[in-house]
Structure 1
Amino acid sequence: MSLLQKICLVYVAVLLAAASLNYIPGLTDAEGLAFGIFALDIFDDALHVASALWALFAALWSKQSARFFLIVFGALYLGDGVFGFFTGYGYLDLGIFTNASAGLSFTFLRLAANVPHLLLGGVALWAGLKLDRA
């Protein structure tokens, strides 16, 4: 198994963990906010599970599939995080289509909601483009 395939398996675990946040007692507050910071709905959960399944398929299929996943997933999630800073909503869960823009903000809540997508996307894109090229 190549390094890229192993990285995809890490993404499977991280994405499934993200999808499970709403279902672990004590991680959401009375308003349904995970860690008291952001709300995850069924669209977010479905997106995380679908992404995890895609990562699993890519990891098990081939090194080329893993690279494709990391590049495409990375670009999509990185872009979603950037949109989150500029509008308050991402496009992957259709938030920019269902909510009015909240404008550019670098508040703690906006950082907490978007930095995970920036990190997941940025690392995936970098790994897909730069690692295990031999």
Structure 2
Amino acid sequence: MARYVFSVRFRLDPGSGVRVDPATFETTLSKEAAPPGEDEWLFFRDNLWRGELNAPGHMRSLAEETLGVPVEGVEYRRFETTEAEYAALKAAIASDLDLFNAEDGSEVLNKYFGSSIEVEPEE
């Protein structure tokens, strides 16, 4: 399944009288990408711009809700997909370019993903 990959830096904040060292950790968080046409398939359009998060604070808040820990930062790393999923995404984009204010699918992919798409070969 296609997925968005993020680097997340979070901290542990134990109760009084308890200390952790280190208190800050970094991990990788992956979010499944909805197939084109399904709810949330436009996640990239709403959250990315040229391969970067367009609202890091918002994504940090979402990561905090998801992980249940204070998050210090989130960085978008890449979009991982298979050849078939990538073809479906490109077809969905091309079928409704008005959603993206673009003239062709390549422009859309570059506008939102930059060069952060990794296509895995089919097995």
Shared fold (TM-score greater than 0.5)? no
Give the TM-score taking structure 1 as reference length.
0.24
Larger Rg: 2
Give the TM-score taking structure 2 as reference length.
0.25
Structure that is richer in strand per residue: 2
Structure that is richer in helix per residue: 1
